[in-house]
Every structure is written in C-alpha cells, then in structure tokens.
Structure 1
Amino acid sequence: MPGLLRGVARTAVVAGTATAVSNRVSRRQAGRWAQQDYEQQQGYAQAQQAPPPPPPAAPPAAAPPADAADAMTQKIDQLKQLAELKAQGVLTDEEFEQQKRALLA
C-alpha cells in the first residue's frame, strides 16, 4: 500500500507541476498576443490617418504695394498665416523660421 500511495503522490505532483507550467506559458503567450494585437491596431490607426499635407511653398511674391503701410499689413497677414500653419503642425519650427526670414528680408 505505501508503494501505491507513493506512486499516486508522485503522479499528483507531476500533474500539478505540469498544470502550473502550462498555465504560466498560456498567460505569457496571451500577453504577447495582446501586445502584438495592440501594436497592429496602433499601426492600422496611424496608417488610416491622412498624411499631413506637404508644407506650402514660399509665399508668392505680392505685387508692389501702393505704400509702406500696405506692405507692412501684407507682411503681418503673411506672418499670421505662417504662425497658423505652424500651430496646426503643417510647418516645423525650422520651416517657419526659414519662411519668416524670407518674408522679412
């Protein structure tokens, strides 16, 4: 009888260990799959977003203003437009500075 109990006990230990290992592997795989699904969803979401429009070309050269006040008003309006484009994320800081320098030159 002691031999039978020892065999049953050994079987129970082996089965319990196997179950614990199997559960741990399953949880680890589920975590990996969940991470992969999350990354794929993020990739799809980014791919579905419209790419930002290309940065606008340099502001067109305006016809010579009638007087200095008109010229200043036009430059201020163009600077405001550049600032709006920068705020919207269309222009980077470098592009904004470059366009601003070209406008004020």
Structure 2
Amino acid sequence: MDWDDTKIIAAEPGDYVLIARKAKGTINWFVGAITDENSRDLSLTLDFLEAGNTYEATIYQDAANADWQTNPEAYVIDKKLVTSKTALPINLAKGGGCAIQFVKH
C-alpha cells in the first residue's frame, strides 16, 4: 500500500512508537503501535482525521490479560464510530501493540 501522509504521534526510541499513515488517494487512515517489555497507556487524539467526517474505527489491541511471555496471543477486536475530535485510549501490554483502521462511515 502507498501512503499520502505519515505522522509519528508518540515515540521513545527503543521503547515504543505510535504512528498514523493515510492511505494514498483516500481519507482512510491506519494506526499502529508497539512497545518494549513495559506495558504502556497512551492517548491517541484523532485530529489527523478529516474534520466533519465520521469514521468507523476497527481496533485490534491487547486483551487485559495479554503478556508477551505468558499470554502473547490474547487480543480483542472492537469497532466504534469516531471523529477528528475523539481521543482513544491505547493500552499496550508488555511486548504488545495495536493496529487501528479508520474508514469513512
């Protein structure tokens, strides 16, 4: 896939990264995050989304009991409607991550 835009939302080299990328020729965005051996709670502000539109967010993230050593495959999938004014909590388990797809609703 080609990209029109890339934004680093939050990062600490060697520790974690939260990045957003806009699909080429669309208003759809994709977000990915990954962390090291430390769990993290981040807040994702969606001000990069086009104002005035509603998006369906498909969120793939670590389950509450996820752990890279004891339960590495525990995840949940959630869908919700969001706008550019929404902030989403991102909970990363130890050694975990998340992926989110934003498609115009």
TM-score range, shorter chain: under 0.3
Which of the pair has the greater relative contact order for Cα pairs under 8 Å at 6+ separation? 2
Q: Give the TM-score taking structure 1 as reference length.
A: 0.24
Q: Give the TM-score taking structure 2 as reference length.
A: 0.24
Q: Which has the larger radius of gyration?
A: 1
Relative to its length, the structure with more strand (as a share) is: 2
